[in-house]
Amino acid sequence: RELNYQWFYEGRNGWWQYDARTNKEIEDAYQSEATTCQVLVVGLVFVVDFTRMLQYRIRDPSKRRKIKRDLSDAPMKGIAGISASRLD
Ligand code: V3L
């Protein structure tokens, strides 16, 4: 059976999935063996750092969030700030 992977960022007591477009950008960068990439979400530019496995706002690197690449069916709070209970 095929295993599907997804990128997640840290929330309060749980993980959020990146939205599908951003997830693809991150996965493409990861597959190209980049050490970092930048993504634009909610009007903010974030640095995704594959070496330290965290993301932070480029304008305010003090607020860091852990990230992980995990199976797409791993437990999550929702997608990009939309609670799982409100999806589908
Ligand atoms: N995708 C979408 N929104 C993001 C992302 C991202 N990758 N990274 C940060 N934000 P900061 P709980 C998050 C949002 O890191 O209840 C969640 O998506 C971030 O939203 O502080 O704590 C939820 O919407 C925050 O609003 O610089 O688990 C919300 O937090 C803003 O960008 C609450 O989640 C600044 O992020």
User: What global pTM score does this model have?
Assistant: 0.96
The gap from C-alpha 39 to its chain's centroid, in whole angstroms, comes to 10
Spatial distance between the Cα atoms of 79 and 88, rounded to a whole number of angstroms: 11
Q: Are 18 and 9 in contact (CB under 8 A)?
A: yes
Distance CA 70, CA 86 (A): 22
**What is the pLDDT, as a whole number, of residue 19?**
97
Consecutive H or E run containing 36: strand 36-41
Q: How far is CA 11 from the centre of its chain?
A: 11
- ipTM for the predicted complex comes to 0.98
Give the pLDDT confidence score for residue 45 in this predicted structure. Answer: 98
Q: Whose CA is nearest to atom 14 of ligand 1?
A: 42
Quick check: 1 pLDDT over 70?
Answer: no
Ligand 1 centroid to residue 35 C-alpha, Å? 22
**Cβ–ligand 1 contact at 65 (below 6 Å):** yes
Give per-residue pLDDT as tens, 37-67: 999 999 999 999 999 999 999 999 999 999 9
How large a percentage of the chain has pLDDT more than 70? 98
pLDDT at 88 over 80: no
